[in-house]
Amino acid sequence: MIHIRAAEFRPGTYDPDAGTVEAVASTFAPVKRRDTRGPYLERLDPAGLDTSALIGLPVLDGHRQGGARDVVGSIAAARMEDGRLVVTIRRTSAPDAEPIWARVADGTLKGVSIGYGVQQWRETTEGGQRVRTGRPVIREVSIVAIPADPQAIIRQEETTMPKDTTTPETEDRAALIARCRAAHPALGDEWATRMEEAGDVLTDAEVIADARETAQAARQTRTAPVIRTAAPAADDPAVIRTRQAEALACRMMGTAPSEAARPFMGYGLADHAREALAAAGIATRGLGAEDLLTRAMHGTSDFPALLTESGNRTLASAYQAAQSPLKAIARQRTANDFRALSVLKLGTFSGLQKVSEHGEVKAMTTGEAKEGYALETFAGTFALSRKALVNDDLGAFGRWGEMMGRAAAETEAAQLLALLTQSSGAGPMMGEDGKRLFHADHGNLSSLAAAPDVDTLSVARQALRTMKGLDGKTPINVVPRFLLVGPALETEAEKLLASIYAATTDDVQPIRLTLLVEPRLTGNGWYVFADPATAPVLEYAYLSSAPGPQLSSRDGWDVLGREFRVVLDFGCGATDWRGAYRNPGA
């Protein structure tokens, strides 16, 4: 008598008396992942997996590792079966785990997932896609609500595959096919039809053998990658390194870490070196701090990458904090290489033309002009000495990173400011007409040098509003948005703009602008700029593969330690004059 229960799930392998249940822990399906270099396909190779080493490993509640209550059992036995890892789980008798095992018993909770690490990865490329292959070191098995691998579940009630040589004589072919399909869910209708059509040509033993071979082939050719939503991200080496880098950067900058990085806040450089060596499979027992750091620096561990990543975080933080307000009035773009960038300016249409009932629709034309600039490379180096590394002097590393970040921001600001101050404030030569950026013929240079007030701002606004397009006739209605001044005019400009909210109507200043103060701007000159998204005047660009300053490192050659290099690929230029107005100031 064969019973097949399809209406509901029952963990037929669960033995409440013995407190054990059998589960498929993993089928080692490929997984889509992402690291700092982009997406890749992860493959776990179970070849050489020592299943005896899994006995006694903990079984956790949803990969939680916060305390003893998260352990709900242990692995009592493990084996490989048709490329799958099958484990026998022995539950704990602790009362606080009873709700979990009650759900397992009634079939509500049935998902299983492995927690693992990989000591060494082998990276290849297949069809243009990165593939990282590694042999897993399994550290735990978890009972989960949603398994990443649909085949990784607690085993249901199922029929046992009949032996190859003995089959009940009273059993017909249809019943045998049903039993085979119950034992191997991978067998589909096509296989069943083929076996039925074979009739007496195949013996029952041959049907059973064919079922096993077909099911195994289906599992081996299953190539669709699984998105492992319940994967133990905490065991991913790339994730661990990211959290360690965050903790190092937070220690250097004195900021608070995320919850994920908090466990690493107490680590010194030697502790991180020990972790990196252990992850690379290198023994660390008995090594002092200097030996740990030396081996981690000059070996195959991720420790140099960890230092570089944490340095980049410190660099980026200081770089962002030191940004110049000039970037608010400039438009950003990217460049693929170092060739000159061309900025094409299109003219405006005067309007659509009326068409009579049988009239011709006439083609419309527009003028165009070009401006251009190119990227340049700026760089600097610094070194973290062996003494600083051994002494765990993160302050020195952090100070260098902050200084380099500020230096990169200063470099960008100096390049943008040079565009405004060039030729005694007239700006660069424009390719469209061969005249300076701020020129009387452009209508964007005040003939009366005066301090900013309601009258002079009104003149600037009118000049921008009446700007013409490339044809010199069509108004383009430039809307002023920013008032740019130097430190000498900051207080006066704040008073002027604050009068927008005056207590009396007569004192209201009607022109609303956002104040920008550039500390590098000297003198009493001031500017009014439009929004760079609608009327760009200045433009800056980064290399598309390296936006902002980039930090890299190598083993010290001239110094005993680690050498770091900061490179910035940056360029800027003036692209149009129609969105800016300058007053030389009183």
361 belongs to a structural domain: no
* Alpha helices (H) in 256-302, listed in sequence order: 269-279, 289-298
For residues 459 and 569, state if they share a domain: yes
Contact 199, 207 (CB under 8 A): no
Q: In what order do the strands lie in the sheet with 580-583?
A: 514-517, 480-485, 526-530, 580-583
Q: Which of 301, 324, 347 is the last residue of a domain?
A: 324
The CA dihedral of 380, 386, 392, 395, to the nearest 10 degrees, is -30
Concatenate the DSSP letters of all residues of 446-459 into one string: -SS-----HHHHHH
Q: d(Cα 463, Cα 310) in Å, to the nearest integer? A: 49
Alpha-carbon distances, residue 156 vs 60, 109, 175, 353 (angstroms) = 20, 12, 20, 76
DSSP for residue 154? B
For residues 396 and 291, state if they share a domain: no
Contact 366, 470 (CB under 8 A): yes
Q: How far is the first Cα of the chain from the last one, in angstroms, to the nearest whole number?
A: 105
Q: d(Cα 31, Cα 19) in Å, to the nearest integer? A: 32
Q: d(Cα 463, Cα 460) in Å, to the nearest integer? A: 5
DSSP for residue 470? T
Contact 276, 117 (CB under 8 A): no
For residues 226 and 257, state if they share a domain: no
Q: pLDDT > 90: what percent of the chain?
A: 26
Say if residue 220's pLDDT is above 90.
no
What average pLDDT does range 414-435 have in this prediction? 92
Q: Which run of H or E residues covers position 553?
A: strand 550-555
| Res 302: pLDDT | 84
Q: Which of 6-15, 81-90, 99-108, 383-392 has the highest mean pLDDT?
A: 81-90
| Res 252: pLDDT | 87
> Strand pairing partners for 373?
341
Mean pLDDT (the chain, rounded): 81
Does residue 165 come out as left (phi exceeding 0), alpha (psi in the -120 to 50 range) or beta?
Answer: alpha
| Res 51: pLDDT | 87
577 belongs to a structural domain: yes
493 belongs to a structural domain: yes
Contact 139, 235 (CB under 8 A): yes
Q: Which run of H or E residues covers position 398?
A: helix 394-425
Least confident span in 126-135, 193-202, 222-231, 435-444:
222-231
| Res 284: pLDDT | 82
- The domain tally of the chain equals 3
Q: d(Cα 421, Cα 525) in Å, to the nearest integer? A: 10
| Res 312: pLDDT | 87
134 belongs to a structural domain: yes
Q: d(Cα 513, Cα 497) in Å, to the nearest integer? A: 7
346 belongs to a structural domain: no
The structure tokens 């190539």 sit at: 223
For residues 182 and 161, state if they share a domain: yes
pLDDT, one tens digit per residue, over 312-321 is 888 888 888 8
Contact 526, 450 (CB under 8 A): no
Amino acid at 9: F
| Orientation angle between helical segments 269-279 and 289-298, nearest 10 degrees | 50
DSSP for residue 428? P
553 vs 66, higher pLDDT: 553
Q: Which of 31-40, 333-342, 411-420 has the highest mean pLDDT?
A: 411-420
pLDDT band at 4 (very low <50, low <70, confident <90, very high): very low
| Res 209: pLDDT | 75
Least confident span in 19-28, 30-39, 124-133, 276-285:
30-39
| Res 216: pLDDT | 67
Contact 272, 248 (CB under 8 A): yes
> Strand pairing partners for 380?
566
Q: Which of 218, 235, 252 is the last residue of a domain?
A: 235
Say if residue 451's pLDDT is above 90.
yes
pLDDT band at 419 (very low <50, low <70, confident <90, very high): very high
What average pLDDT does range 23-33 have in this prediction? 85
Which residue range(s) make up the domain with 304?
A: 236-324
Amino acid at 485: V
- Using a 10 angstrom Cβ sphere, with 0-12 exposed, 13-18 middle and 19 or more buried, the burial of residue 509 is middle
Neighbours of 279 (CB within 10 A): 18
Q: Which of 227-231, 488-492, 553-557 has the highest mean pLDDT?
A: 488-492
Least confident span in 26-40, 76-90, 215-229, 402-416:
215-229
| Res 219: pLDDT | 56
For residues 548 and 428, state if they share a domain: yes
Q: Which run of H or E residues covers position 346?
A: strand 341-346
Q: Which of 166-170, 262-266, 398-402, 461-465 has the highest mean pLDDT?
A: 461-465
Say if residue 462's pLDDT is above 90.
yes
Provide φ and ψ at 392, rounded to 5°: 55, 40
pTM over 0.85: no
For residues 164 and 271, state if they share a domain: no
The CA dihedral of 95, 101, 103, 104, to the nearest 10 degrees, is 180
| Res 189: pLDDT | 79
Q: How far is CA 452 from the centre of its chain?
A: 45
Q: Which run of H or E residues covers position 345?
A: strand 341-346
| Res 415: pLDDT | 95
For residues 496 and 514, state if they share a domain: yes
pLDDT band at 378 (very low <50, low <70, confident <90, very high): very high
* Alpha helices (H) in 173-268, listed in sequence order: 173-183, 189-198, 204-220, 237-253
Neighbours of 451 (CB within 10 A): 15
pLDDT band at 370 (very low <50, low <70, confident <90, very high): low
Least confident span in 4-13, 31-40, 133-142, 576-585:
4-13
What average pLDDT does range 277-286 have in this prediction? 82
For residues 399 and 473, state if they share a domain: yes
For residues 406 and 450, state if they share a domain: yes
- Using a 10 angstrom Cβ sphere, with 0-12 exposed, 13-18 middle and 19 or more buried, the burial of residue 8 is exposed
Say if residue 420's pLDDT is above 80.
yes
341 belongs to a structural domain: no
Q: Which of 235, 253, 270 is the last residue of a domain?
A: 235
Sequence-distant (≥ 6) Cβ neighbours of residue 323 within 8 angstroms = 409
Concatenate the DSSP letters of all residues of 363-379 into one string: -----EEEEEE--EEEE
477 belongs to a structural domain: yes
368 belongs to a structural domain: no
Neighbours of 430 (CB within 10 A): 18
Q: pLDDT > 70: what percent of the chain?
A: 85
Provide φ and ψ at 389, rounded to 5°: -65, -50
Contact 293, 273 (CB under 8 A): yes
Say if residue 293's pLDDT is above 60.
yes
| Res 545: pLDDT | 78
DSSP for residue 153? B
| Res 489: pLDDT | 94
Q: HEC profile for 113-152?
A: EEEEEEEEEEEEEECCEEEEEEEEEEEEEEEECCCCCCCC
For residues 574 and 445, state if they share a domain: yes
Q: d(Cα 141, Cα 71) in Å, to the nearest integer? A: 10
What average pLDDT does range 216-238 have in this prediction? 54
> Of 437, 441, 415, 440, which Cα lies nearest the Cα of 428?
437
For residues 221 and 262, state if they share a domain: no
Say if residue 542's pLDDT is above 90.
yes
| Res 350: pLDDT | 56
CA geometry: angle 288, 562, 306, nearest 5 deg: 75
Q: Compute the chain's Rg from CA coordinates.
A: 35
For residues 93 and 173, state if they share a domain: yes
Say if residue 170's pLDDT is above 50.
no
Say if residue 358's pLDDT is above 90.
no
pLDDT band at 18 (very low <50, low <70, confident <90, very high): confident
Neighbours of 547 (CB within 10 A): 14
106 vs 524, higher pLDDT: 524
Say if residue 550's pLDDT is above 80.
yes
